[in-house]
Amino acid sequence: MPEEKKGIKVRFERQRRNLMAISVTMVVYFSLGLEFNKLNVLGNTVTISNAANIEQLLWVLFLYFLSRYYHFYNVIDNREFIPTYDICMDKYVRPVALKALEHTDLPTRKDENPEGRRFSYKLTEARVYNILPWRWELKLDGNIEWNIRDGKGGQPFKDFSITVSGTQLLWPKIKARSKLYLATPHVSEYLLPFWLAAFAVGCKILSWS
């Protein structure tokens, strides 16, 4: 592992521990309604005259650790999980791309196919780019094949662009994210601190009722 990536990973894990520790502390504090009057510091008993400030301190630490973890999560997420998501999308988007290719003007050399048989496409790579929330562009590499009198003919294509709607990509995106979340440590290692932080906030809201 490169030194730069290793250093970021270590710092990320430190922020993860900090956020989870402060979140657990807040869950216990708000759920049990704890009140601190005295604190033992290195064998010395310290009397807390204004216990209300403890909650304010917890919130300050919580927001600080949350912002730090969010920053490192974005770095780690992009470096480790976006490529995995792209690989999954390349696989699951191919049926959509093959269906869309049937309605394009991709060169087919129809003069060599007098019998009018269907052309077939074989994709080697499919890249997905977001243009608008409801419109996506697919960049495709592959080969087009057709039947001729002496056998089969073929022609490669590269960076062929087609646009599809967000609805057409809905199922491939669901499958790609399911693969990402269930087959990688994305949930247990990376999203759990966020869920625990949200649970801590929920405990505070419930304490008002």
Write the DSSP string, 55-80: HHHHHHHHHHHHHHHHHHHHHHHHHH
Taking the C-alpha atoms of residue 162 and residue 184, their distance in angstroms, rounded to an integer, is 31
Identify the bridge partners of residue 142 per DSSP, sorted by sequence position. 123, 157
Q: pLDDT over 90 for what percent of the chain?
A: 17
Q: How many CA atoms lie within 13 A of 177 on its CB side?
A: 5
Mean pLDDT of the chain: 79
Mean pLDDT of 13-36: 87
- pTM for the full model? 0.60
Evaluate whether 120 touches 146 at the Cβ level (below 8 Å).
Answer: yes
Query: Which residue's entry shows tokens 């087609």?
Result: 162
Query: What confidence category does residue 150 fall into, taking pLDDT thresholds of 50, 70 and 90?
Result: low
